[in-house]
Amino acid sequence: MTLMTMIMKMSEGLGKTCAIFFLTVLFSLPLGMIVALLRMSKNKVVSAVTRFIITVLRGTPLMLQLLAVTYGPYYLFGAGVARNKLIPVVIAFSINYAAYFAEIYRGGIESIPVGQYEAAEVLGYTKMQTFMRIILPQVVKRIMPSVTNEIVTLVKDTSMAFTVSYQEMFTIGKQIANSQTSFMPFLVAGVFYYLFNLIVDRVMGRVEKRLDYYKG
Amino acid sequence: MAETIQKESAAILEIRGLQKAFGENTVLRDISLDVEPGNVVSIIGPSGSGKSTLLRCATFLETADGGDILYDGQYAVRGGVYAPKADLARFRTRYGLVFQSFNLFPHYSVMRNVSEAPILHGQNKDEAQEYARSLLKKMGLEGKENAYPFQLSGGQQQRVAIARALAMKPEILFFDEPTSALDPELTGEVLKVIRQLAEEKMTMVVVTHEMPFAKAVSNRVIFMDGGVIVEQGDPISVFDHPKEERTKQFLSVFER
């Protein structure tokens, strides 16, 4: 197999790699905010349960979580394995990344000085207005570097989908590597991920720059 | 407003028997105080005397344990029991608070800092911005409308904060050590605008360590220590002829 055919074959999986990436970003970012708010809930039971779930999601391998979401329903209830593996894969990724984003959000929210809340309260902002207008925009700016970090990691983590044989780029590459006993597909995969992250870096850099109009 | 009653008193703010403790630590013991329209009341005293807590209770940032708080003769707090949330929200529109650390919104321009709250309260946007502009001009901040707080000096930031509080057209304005976070050379410009407001008969309660300022600007000076009002009266009697030993002691530190 020539290098060109390898690249062509692996490119066919790039769409699925992108699907995992974009859908996970789309779902995990807002889900993380919900988890963060539950984690900071004044209700001690809610916050303790959320905290426990976060520790499980962050404390066990993503690979294990992928297997659990994909095959768990079969072993537990005898349900069929999803025909389109994209669904369990995106669910597992979104939940896992939401746990990480939740902790980033929490750190960001807790870093906002209490004086911001007090100033808004005295000026008659409602709780909702305070959060949406005063707190959240400042949190977004503060957490941008950490979020970029997670997103860069996500690009590379999409390769983990091979554990459930979802035919994304890396899974195809691994299959070629096995059948051709060649290391070449892994190099190709490495270049793909690097280029992908180069774009991610550019985009996030631009977002950070747009938030640069103020300090503090 | 079933719980509120009209009263004869002309005071804008009335505090009666206010109590506040943080755990074991009693910070306010039975504080009573009236503020009449157009008056400037200064509260002085050593740190930890309860001055700031008193302001924070009056503005509902801290919850008092007991006592009454009335605005325009209407009960916001009665016997330590707070009026319903909706009523408290309406009481909030009657006062403004200027913080020691300004607490401007860093992601907002000066204009938006000053004009957003009135707009959220239903004021017409153009009118709110025009009023904001006039307040900024009065604060000597003409041309700073589009600046962000980080681009301003501490003194300018505090003047924006004063404009922001005034934009809500409060009946009474509270200052919580408005110059304590400022470099000495910047306190003057802030005290000047407060003095100007006093001349315009703005009702104000000022917690301050600036004794000459308190003496010059106040109708009444309150000396607090250990959570009680030790002495109060017109500035001359409190500053020049203090009756209480603790007042004398405290003031003597400033004379050196």
Report CB contact under 8 Å: A122, B105: no
Minimal-distance CA residue of chain B relative to A141: B107
Strand, coil or helix: what is B14? strand
- Mean pLDDT of all residues in B208-217: 93
B196 to chain A, any CB pair closer than 8 A? The answer is no
Cross-chain Cβ contact B121/A137 below 8 Å: no
Residue in the block written with tokens 């995992």: A20
Residues 6+ apart with CB under 8 A from B207: B42, B43, B44, B51, B52, B54, B55, B174, B175, B176, B177
Which residues of chain B does A213 touch, with a Cβ-Cβ cutoff of 8 Å? 148
pLDDT score of A77: 85
- Comparing CB atoms, the residue among A118, A121, A138 nearest residue B106 is A138
Residue B231 has pLDDT above 90, yes or no: yes
Q: Given this model, what pLDDT does residue B116 score?
A: 97
Cross-chain Cβ contact A214/B107 below 8 Å: yes
**A116, A121, A122 member nearest B105 (Cβ):** A116
Q: Would you state the pLDDT for residue B3?
A: 46
Q: Give me the pLDDT at residue B89, please.
A: 93
Mean pLDDT to the nearest integer, B209-234: 94
Q: Which of residues 60-99 of B touch A (CB under 8 A)?
A: 60-61, 89, 92-93, 95-97, 99
SS (H, E, C) chain A: CCHHHHHHHHHHCHHHHHHHHHHHHHHHHHHHHHHHHHHCCCCHHHHHHHHHHHHHHHHCCHHHHHHHHHHHHHHHHCCCCCCCCHHHHHHHHHHHHHHHHHHHHHHHHHCCCHHHHHHHHHCCCCHHHHHHHHHHHHHHHHHHHHHHHHHHHHHHHHHHHHHHCCCCHHHHHHHHHHHHCCCHHHHHHHHHHHHHHHHHHHHHHHHHHHHHHCCC
The parts of chain A modelled with pLDDT lower than 70 are none
Q: How far apart, in whole angstroms, are the C-alpha atoms of residue A106 and residue A100?
A: 10
List of chain B residues whose C-beta atoms are within 8 Å of the C-beta of residue A112: none
* B149 at A interface, C-beta within 8 A: yes
Q: How far is B200 from chain A (nearest CA, A)?
A: 22
Nearest-CA distance B235 → chain A (Å)? 29
**Count of A-B CB contacts under 8 Å:** 57
Chain B residue numbers with beta carbons less than 8 Å from the beta carbon of A137 are 107
A216 with B61: Cβ contact below 8 A: no
Q: Do B148 and A141 touch (CB under 8 A)?
A: no
Spatial separation of the C-alpha atoms in residues B2 and A209, rounded to whole Å: 53
- CB atoms A129 and B103 under 8 Å: no
ipTM above 0.90, yes or no: yes
The tally of CA atoms less than 13 A away on the side-chain side of residue B175 is 34
Judge contact between B175 and B208, C-beta under 8 A: yes
| pLDDT confidence of residue B10 | 80
Instruction: Note whether A137 contacts B107, CB cutoff 8 Å.
Output: yes
Confidence of residue B199 (pLDDT cuts 50, 70, 90): very high
In which band, very low, low, confident or very high, does the pLDDT at B256 lie, cut at 50, 70 and 90?
A: low
Residue found under tokens 């919580």: B176
Residue A80's pLDDT is: 78
Task: Answer whether B92 sits within 8 Å of A137, measured CB to CB.
Answer: no
Give the separation between CA A162 and CA A168, rounded to whole angstroms.
7
Q: At what angle do helices A14-39 and A136-157 cross, to 10 degrees?
A: 140
Least CB–CB distance from B107: residue in A118, A125, A138: A138
Chain B residues in contact with A133 (beta carbon < 8 A): 116
At residue B9, the pLDDT reads: 58
